[in-house]
């Protein structure tokens, strides 16, 4: 049984960019994403490299999905044993693109204001 819950960020309009990103992936990549989410739910903060990495200087963690399509999801831990997935993207370079990080932080601020 999973001890942590996975939630997706949703916009104030009700749109869910995380679910859309996942739905748009190829079947193999989508399966890897859901498998990684299950690992995160099962092991919680105990899940470490190569699966997760703390982003220094931010409140964010990065869920790393390796393979043909290198995917990343930024998330935070919430009170009540939940993780909030803020943003997902295809990682194409060694360095995390600043715009991807900025979008995740913007979504975190929006979430904080609404909750």
pLDDT in tens, 16-47: 999 999 999 999 999 999 999 999 999 999 99
Of 3, 110, 22, 2, nearest to 73 by C-alpha is 22
Please tell me the CATH superfamily of domain 5-114, with its number: RelE-like (3.30.2310.20)
Query: pTM of the predicted model, to two decimals?
Result: 0.94
Task: Show the beta-strand stretches assigned E in 21-112.
Answer: 52-54, 61-65, 71-78, 82-90
Of 12, 1, 9, nearest to 114 by C-alpha is 12
In tens, the pLDDT along 56-105 reads 999 999 999 988 789 999 999 999 899 999 999 999 888 999 999 999 99
Contact 83, 40 (CB under 8 A): yes
What gap in Å lies between CA 80 and CA 73, rounded to an integer? 20
């Amino acid at each position: 049984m999973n001890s942590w819950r996975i939630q997706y960020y949703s916009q104030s309009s009700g749109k869910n960019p995380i679910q859309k990103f996942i739905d748009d992936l190829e079947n193999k990549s989508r399966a890897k994403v859901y498998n990684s989410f299950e690992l995160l739910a099962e092991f919680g903060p105990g899940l470490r490299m190569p699966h997760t990495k703390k982003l220094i200087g931010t409140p964010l963690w990065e869920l790393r999905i390796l393979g043909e399509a290198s995917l990343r999801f930024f998330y935070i831990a919430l009170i009540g044993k939940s993780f909030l997935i803020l943003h997902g993207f295809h990682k194409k370079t060694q360095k995390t693109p600043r715009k991807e990080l900025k979008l995740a932080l913007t979504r975190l601020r929006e979430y904080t204001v609404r909750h």
